[in-house]
Structure 1
């Protein structure tokens, strides 16, 4: 049969049976033929039960195709929601739950392997949801403020600079993130056990993407004032520096307000709506910082970690020739 068939799958099944008859184990067969040992085991079991008929390709007898365009479109809509939206208790999806819900909605029941293929065809992936907080402002008010911010960023006049500012926490205890690992070999990350923190304040130029950053051991008004001072030094010829930022308390404290009175015409603060991090362009840079430095790091102390942080910032800003200010 192996020499008579034109089907590669049928020929492989025949080879599995021949090798098994010579006393080869499923693992040895898998290594010889480049297939998984579980498939070799299933082929041998099927051959013992049904003989040569088990070696033939019976996919044409499977009936109507299950993964139709309508099924995939419905699956896409279901994945957008949560199991609780369909009366379930579990807050996250599993393949078994998806199979159950899709069977109820479409009348089509599929296997876990088929569901895995369906998810892959839809481009679905397993990932961590992003936490967010509901903005207390009305939708209209929020949109109006975002339009104002966008106009400030787009319509800066000659001699004006627009920056997006924010702070980021650097933890000595590493953030644990995904990494590639060999099967059966889980990597480990050595942690210091006792956490320490350092804080960066940064401002991203809306036109050029350049960063101005300062570092302090505490996140307070003095950190923000150090950033404003660094901005004045980095843009000495700017008639006005527009700073777009969130309404965190250190950005509008009494100390900051008193300091701004001395530079009333030089620095203007534009506050984003509450809980609106997506509108702050520097947030992406902080995400990249964590991905490239702090996640899964094994620095023994904070000084070593901050050396890596500044090295990454210097490398990221090399193409912008950014002046990086490090506050004492």
Structure 2
């Protein structure tokens, strides 16, 4: 029989996607042959269109009729990949959960040579380090950079998060909630990756003598509106200036809640004295070492990625013009496509 039996629409769509997208050219060619025959072409015609032998087209169609799409795939050549036995797998997972120094070795990180040595001493199984290097990715054990962390834990973390979440649920026009934080602006540019020609590193000129400027910003938790003030010193006056700006902007608000980190200017004596005179302000401290709680950190990251990284400004006033332009285009944040805005 010259034609293939009826192929339903989902199956036909799968074959078409294989022809269009598969990186396996042999698989794609076979699927194309099946589609051509299904659409009414003779097998001789399909062979001519694909520059294949008619016997090959007959064979591919037979494979498809017997096993479906799976029958068109190549049979894997050579021996199947060998994975280690349960004893070695269990030992590997156990060892990588520890540090070599926990077991009395000098190294602070595991090497495949040391893993092979410990496995041999513990189980009597002799396995080469290169074999472990080949097995471990298959088992989900990969070589990756460690992340720094602190041993200090905030004992009141859950209570602080509960208070912050409760304030966020009540956020409205009468009781706005803001994420507040400060950011440093350096005249010496932050260096970051950029697109360029291979083998040619981009050079970023630096002014040499660094200057600093500081912003205090507030991100509205509901609307994404951004308010900020600036100063040449990072002190309590900077934080107080921002709160005064918020008080003037939101005069009709009954309360103004600020979610802040544990930096000293947020709880200094001068700040506490100002807060006593302005009882409508409520300051909520985020848990210690939990910067992800404060959403304005993403705004500062976007500021550095958009403006301060690899910049070519030679004077601070020039850089601050770009920073102010960013702050204007970033509000509301996120979603205002600040990265595509013109200067």
TM class, shorter-chain normalised? 0.5 to 0.7
Which of 146, 156, 170 in structure 1 is aligned with 2:161? Answer: 146
Which has the larger displacement, 285-294 or 200-209?
Answer: 285-294
Tell me by how many angstroms 1:205 deviates. Answer: 0.8
Q: Which structure carries more relative contact order (alpha carbon 8 Å, separation 6+)? A: 1
CA distance change for structure 1 residues 301 and 153 in 2, over 3 Å: closer, same or farther?
same
The equivalent of 2:301 in structure 1 is: 287
2:286 alignment partner, one of 272, 280, 305: 272
Aligned pairs for 1:180-191 within 5 A: 180-191=195-206
Could you tell me how far 1:257 is from its partner in structure 2? 1.8
Task: Spell out, residue by residue over 1:156-177, the C-alpha distance to the aligned partner (whole angstroms, 9 max, x if none).
Answer: 3661010111101111112222
**Cα drift, residue 308 of structure 1:** 1.6
Q: TM-score, normalised by structure 2?
A: 0.60
Q: Report what 1:24 is aligned to.
A: none
Distance 2:135 2:84 in 1: 9
Q: What residue number does 1:171 align with?
A: 186
Tell me the SS of whatever aligns to 1:160. coil
| Offset of residue 179 of structure 1 | 3.0
Find the aligned partners of 2:98 and 2:306 in 1 and give their Cα distance. 31
Unpaired runs of 5+ residues, structure 1, are 1-6, 9-58, 323-328
Shift of residue 131 of structure 1?
A: 4.8
Consecutive unaligned residues of structure 2, counting only runs of 5 or more, are 1-23, 26-75, 120-124, 337-343
2:78 maps to 1:64: no
**3-state SS, counterpart of residue 300 of structure 1:** coil
Q: Does 1:214 align with 2:232?
A: no
Higher CA-based Rg: 2
Q: 1:100 to 1:227 in 2, by over 3 A?
A: same
- Residue 155 of structure 1 deviates from its aligned partner by 2.5
Aligned to 1:239: 254
1:194 aligned to which of 198, 204, 209 = 209
Q: TM-score, normalised by structure 1?
A: 0.63
Aligned residues: 257
RMSD: 4.1
Q: Is the 8 A contact 2:225 2:332 kept in 1?
A: no
